[in-house]
Amino acid sequence: MDNIKKIRYFNRAFARSLHVFSPKALGMEYTLAEVRIIEEIALHENCTANFLCQYLFIDKGYMSHILAKLETIGLLKKEKALADRRKWQLRLTSQGEALFAQIDALSNAQVAGLIKDLSPTQLQLLQQAMSTILKILPERPK
């Protein structure tokens, strides 16, 4: 197997182990894209739609659709940015923050399930391998 095929095989296997192809992420009523957007808004201060599009490589039209849905169902609110009143900052509502806490707990439980049978040595090797991948490959591909 050549290098490209090996990397693609790894990506498919890892994605499958995290169930990323399930219609709804983490067994919830939200898609993976919606969950990731909620997570990124929670984790990044001064978050804007433009930042999310660039960070997650999501089309602006699709992002707009998702943000409108999340705002309509009461998970997020838009506020004028203090630094630039032409921009809107995205913030989670209290309902959105509660959902993020649930997403975070379910994500942690999912990973805990993946590693529960690993020995301390295997866990250390896994952590080293992940660190190596992150050092070698850029976080944001060109």
Distances (CA, A) of 73 to 1, 42, 99, 108: 47, 17, 12, 25
What is the arithmetic mean of pLDDT over 104-116? 93
In one letter, which amino acid is 58?
I
pLDDT value at residue 141 = 56
pLDDT value at residue 142 = 55
Residue 1, pLDDT above cutoff 70? no
What pTM did the predictor assign? Answer: 0.84
pLDDT value at residue 90 = 96
pLDDT digits (tens, 9 = 90+) for 60-94: 999 999 999 999 999 999 998 777 777 889 999 99
pLDDT digits (tens, 9 = 90+) for 17-67: 887 777 777 888 999 999 999 999 999 988 999 999 999 999 999 999 999
CATH architecture of 31-136: Orthogonal Bundle (1.10)
In one letter, which amino acid is 51?
F
Domain locations in the chain? 31-136
pLDDT value at residue 138 = 75
What is the arithmetic mean of pLDDT over 118-129? 96
The closest alpha carbon to 27, from 110, 115, 112, belongs to 110
Please give the Cα distance from 19 to 36 (Å, whole number): 14
